[in-house]
Structure 1
Amino acid sequence: MSRLQIMDTTIRDGQQSLWATRMSIGDMLPILPKMDRVGYWAIEAWGGATFDSCMRFLDENPWDRLRSINAATPNTPLSMLTRGQNLVGYKHYSREIVNRFIKASKRNGVHVFRVFDALNDIRNVVDTAEAVNECGGHFEGAISYTISPVHTLDSYLEYAQQLKELGADSICVKDMAGLMTPYRAERIVKALNAEIGLPVHLHCHYVGGMAPANYLKAAEAGVSIVDTASAPLAFGNSQPAVEMIVAALQESRYDTGLDLDLLFEIAEYWEEVRKRSHYKRGVSSLIHMQVYSHQVPGGMMSNLMSQLEVQNASDRLPEVMKEIPRVRAEVGYPPLVTPMSQIVGTQAVFNVLTGKRWGVVSKEMKDYICGYYGKAPGRIDPEIMKKVAGNSQVLPDDVPPSSLVTTTYDEVAEEVGDLAQSEEDVLMYALFPNEARTFLSKHRASEKVDFLMQEESSNIK
């Protein structure tokens, strides 16, 4: 069976890549029944930055959002992106919090868990993998794909083997920066099929425009699933358009069998939403194309631009772009994906704006260099190590960073107190205490007002 399967990323990665994660549940619900009829392998609906931005910008409860999407898509499994030990946050959480969060996600509607670690450090995936396997979810182990002297086909195969040993059901090659090229895609898919033997799922960002060609070569090499988005939320920093991939494979042995007319009806709906909300289309510019030399992902680029604007230093972008690969090499070539993209990017900005390299160092960069995020893929420059770490405690390789986080669920529940009415509320607070407190306080207050109104009206009778 060589038919290619498709996962739809429109409501998670598409909107996160192009609309700054501002899509509301009200925009999603009307079209979900049609998306449910397409026959997608899964709909990526949750995780990544959607969890905190729900509370932060949209005044929505992320758990309610998940339940609503699940109710509207009875025929299609839902997928979420989780950052291993970081879950959907930006730091390590304890084993117990990870375990409860994954099980709560499954209970509320997630079936496929795509689990990645920014450093491809398997120790940061163990707790999540165990929880997914225990609750009967589909564990998709993801490889953060990048290019560097230490990232070789062999290193990826070795990591994929470690994921398989943790019980992965499929392996995803996650090309978050759009660095993949067609013949590299063919090579890695063939090798994974031959050596690992699990279904291979390819996730490419369009960025410089290679992704559709990557998908064609990957299909020929035996890839099982690829990621696409509806055309109005495709291209640029997002994924390729589903309509384009479906049309490209028609009448081939990889024909997806999906209905183009139905896909265009769905696209028309999203196009209306896009126009109404004044969102730009995904477009590839020259600086996007240059990803093949500077290796900076699109999302990271927009962060850098806003950091520089705040400092009135937008004109220094070319210098920062030159500085990024230099910093990345000095700290052992981490893949530029959350949170490493922010950590490396910020350091490059400091180096350029202060005019003194490594004069100012963020706490996050220091923690990374000391091993608290996991093991660097390559060797960290000894001079930088000495300068940044100084006399600080450097974590030995045999101590997993997650073992230092011992917060228990009960401690968090006690801290949040009556604001939390459910395990989901407590978990929300465990991950994002400030945002959750603000959100829950506001909603508890309005519930009280509603309750008093009902009391009043029942007294009137």
Structure 2
Amino acid sequence: MSMTTLVDVSLSDGQTAVWGGAGSTAMLLGTMNSLGHARLAAIEVLSPAVIAQCVSREENPLQRVAALREHANATPLRATVNLLATHGYIDVLSGEALNTWLRMLARHGISEVVLIDPQLDFQRLDSAVQMALANGLSVIAALPYVDDDEHSDAHYSAAAARLVQSGAQRIMLRDEAGLLHVDRLPGLLSALRDGLDGTPLDLHTRCHTGLGPQVALEAIRLGIERLDAALPCVANGASTPALPLLVRSAALLELPLQAPDPDRIKAAEAQFAAVADQQGFPESQPWAFGLAPYEHQLPGEIAADAMQVLRLRGRLADLFGFSRECTRIRQELGNPPMLPPFAQAIARQALEHLDAEPRYATLQPALRRWLQGCYGPIDTSLTSLQQRIGAVATPCRPINLSTDDALAALICGCPALPPFQKLEYEIRTPEQALTQGLLQRWPGYTVLSVTGPGLSIHLEHSKG
């Protein structure tokens, strides 16, 4: 049996799910130094969510890739590319726009791309795979996991076979809502392999239900080729399983896992945890087992955001009511896939309805575009709402921009890409942080003095 290898997603999905995407590029460089020497199969550094986070901080996402590449010690860097954009500047990423973006990713240091089409449009994926290959990228085609009666093992086997025909070099079973369980896994992986004809199979799963680590270990036992995981401080909950826990558990169970360098992983975790401590980022907390994810089926970071909103409103007890409303909205719309750009829009719409607003009094932009047919023909029960907002005559607008940078800015959802910046970040000891805080406050005082075990700081303005 072949050995399972690990891909680290701490710098993308991990920090998005646990820290709300607050990890800036400068904060990640020290951790990347250690991860890059840890003998991982790859490190994921970019996703649509990370791009949005960079733009909101006026960081250039391509600088993020280039800077992390310099610290990666030749470990392959991975990016996820969703063919349906979330920001509204472009609805469907295809043609020359997609080709330009893939070329720029490769130029700045990306080696592998995970291509995601939430609607699993094979024609779009065929074209995207060929473009990625032409730009020298290793191509992983994502097969989104859905937990319902329509998505049988036979469905997944046929879909996997079709993705292999597209030319993808690997297939990823992508369970962003953390719905997989060990009872489903053996039959599902067997069916997938029947369709894959030897093409490597990867797994991306989350821990919403608390079952993620168990599912990951069972996948290793069943011979999954690659598995996504994260450092402990950004693992579990809405994120992926914790990498060190998988390594220790696999060793205990004598499972065929190619373990990364434990010292490098320990150093990476210490550096990442130090950033979290210094910045006041939230600690990762495993979620207790619950059935709500099987109802709402929201991807990790979107589920985390929704639960935080409910918690801040003092309405976490309404989680199942929110989950049922997500299902109702999805059914009324004609079952858009519970992936970006639709999942977050459905979650926000459900929160509005939960506040007793008239249903669809306002409409999330992505849902408006869905009803207007921008992503293709739909069958919805909301016909009166659909008539009210009207159809779009030309949903796939031509894009004519003169430079690669201008096109990349459109893809990233901003008027212009931010300029490259000087990247500096220093981890301070508690004593250094205390001293810096005192120095910042000192001008307002005549004397500042702090004493403690092994510590004495005295600041006094000189006379004259």
Please classify the TM superposition score into its range, dividing by the shorter chain length.
0.7 to 0.9
Q: How does 1:337-356 map to 2 (within 5 A)?
A: 337-356=339-358
C-alpha contact 2:11 2:28 (8 A) present in aligned 1: yes
C-alpha contact 1:11 1:45 (8 A) present in aligned 2: yes
Query: Which residue is equivalent to 2:242?
Result: 241
Find the aligned partners of 2:308 and 2:255 in 1 and give their Cα distance. 46
| 1:360 Cα offset (Å) | 3.9
Asked if residue 134 in structure 1 is aligned to residue 134 in structure 2, the reply is yes
Find the aligned partners of 1:174 and 1:157 in 2 and give their Cα distance. 14
Among 281, 300, 321, the alignment partner of 1:279 is 281
The CA deviation string for residues 187-228 of structure 1, in whole angstroms up to 9 with x for no partner, is 222211122121110001112211111112212222100000
Query: Which residue is equivalent to 1:223?
Result: 224
Q: CA RMSD in A?
A: 3.0
* 1:171 alignment partner, SS class: strand
Find the aligned partners of 1:233 and 1:139 in 2 and give their Cα distance. 26
Tell me which moved more, 237-246 or 338-347. Answer: 338-347
Query: Which residue is equivalent to 2:16?
Result: 16
C-alpha contact 1:141 1:160 (8 A) present in aligned 2: no
Query: Which residue is equivalent to 2:408?
Result: 428
Find the aligned partners of 1:192 and 1:336 in 2 and give their Cα distance. 21
Find the aligned partners of 1:136 and 1:408 in 2 and give their Cα distance. 25
- Change in Cα spacing, 1:310 to 1:87, as seen in structure 2 (3 Å) is closer
Query: Which residue is equivalent to 2:327?
Result: 325
Find the aligned partners of 2:146 and 2:59 in 1 and give their Cα distance. 34
TM-score, reference length from structure 1 = 0.81
Find the aligned partners of 1:344 and 1:363 in 2 and give their Cα distance. 10
C-alpha contact 2:326 2:347 (8 A) present in aligned 1: yes
Alignment-mate amino acid for residue 16 of structure 1: T
* 1:173 alignment partner, SS class: strand
Query: Which residue is equivalent to 2:427?
Result: none
| 1:328 Cα offset (Å) | 1.8
C-alpha contact 2:32 2:68 (8 A) present in aligned 1: yes
Alignment-mate amino acid for residue 141 of structure 2: G
Among 390, 401, 404, the alignment partner of 1:409 is 401
- Between Structure 1 and Structure 2, which shows a larger proportion of helix residues? 1
- Change in Cα spacing, 1:17 to 1:306, as seen in structure 2 (3 Å) is closer
Alignment-mate amino acid for residue 76 of structure 2: P
Find the aligned partners of 1:340 and 1:316 in 2 and give their Cα distance. 22
Asked if residue 171 in structure 1 is aligned to residue 155 in structure 2, the reply is no
Q: May I ask how many residue pairs the two structures share in their alignment?
A: 418
Find the aligned partners of 2:14 and 2:47 in 1 and give their Cα distance. 13
Find the aligned partners of 2:121 and 2:238 in 1 and give their Cα distance. 26
| 1:374 Cα offset (Å) | 4.1
Asked if residue 67 in structure 1 is aligned to residue 66 in structure 2, the reply is yes
Unaligned runs of 5+ in 2: 422-464
Alignment-mate amino acid for residue 12 of structure 2: R
* 2:375 alignment partner, SS class: coil
Alignment-mate amino acid for residue 209 of structure 1: G
| 1:104 Cα offset (Å) | 1.1
Find the aligned partners of 1:202 and 1:177 in 2 and give their Cα distance. 13
Asked if residue 299 in structure 1 is aligned to residue 297 in structure 2, the reply is no
The CA deviation string for residues 410-430 of structure 1, in whole angstroms up to 9 with x for no partner, is 2xx4xxxxxxxxx3x323322
Query: Which residue is equivalent to 1:194?
Result: 194
The CA deviation string for residues 347-395 of structure 1, in whole angstroms up to 9 with x for no partner, is 323434355434543343232134322466xxx44x3235424683489
Find the aligned partners of 1:297 and 1:176 in 2 and give their Cα distance. 5
- Change in Cα spacing, 1:106 to 1:360, as seen in structure 2 (3 Å) is same
| 1:245 Cα offset (Å) | 0.8
Query: Which residue is equivalent to 1:418?
Result: none
Asked if residue 392 in structure 1 is aligned to residue 416 in structure 2, the reply is no
C-alpha contact 1:150 1:333 (8 A) present in aligned 2: no
Find the aligned partners of 2:127 and 2:221 in 1 and give their Cα distance. 35
* 1:23 alignment partner, SS class: coil
* 1:125 alignment partner, SS class: helix
Query: Which residue is equivalent to 1:365?
Result: 367
C-alpha contact 1:7 1:228 (8 A) present in aligned 2: yes
Tell me which moved more, 121-130 or 142-151. Answer: 121-130
* 1:267 alignment partner, SS class: helix
Query: Which residue is equivalent to 1:50?
Result: 50
Find the aligned partners of 1:435 and 1:392 in 2 and give their Cα distance. 27
* 2:302 alignment partner, SS class: helix
- Change in Cα spacing, 1:393 to 1:123, as seen in structure 2 (3 Å) is farther
Find the aligned partners of 2:169 and 2:148 in 1 and give their Cα distance. 28
C-alpha contact 1:172 1:200 (8 A) present in aligned 2: yes
Query: Which residue is equivalent to 2:181?
Result: 181
- State the identity %: 22
Alignment-mate amino acid for residue 401 of structure 2: Y
Tell me which moved more, 121-130 or 145-154. Answer: 121-130
C-alpha contact 1:370 1:389 (8 A) present in aligned 2: no
TM-score, reference length from structure 2 = 0.81
Alignment-mate amino acid for residue 161 of structure 1: A
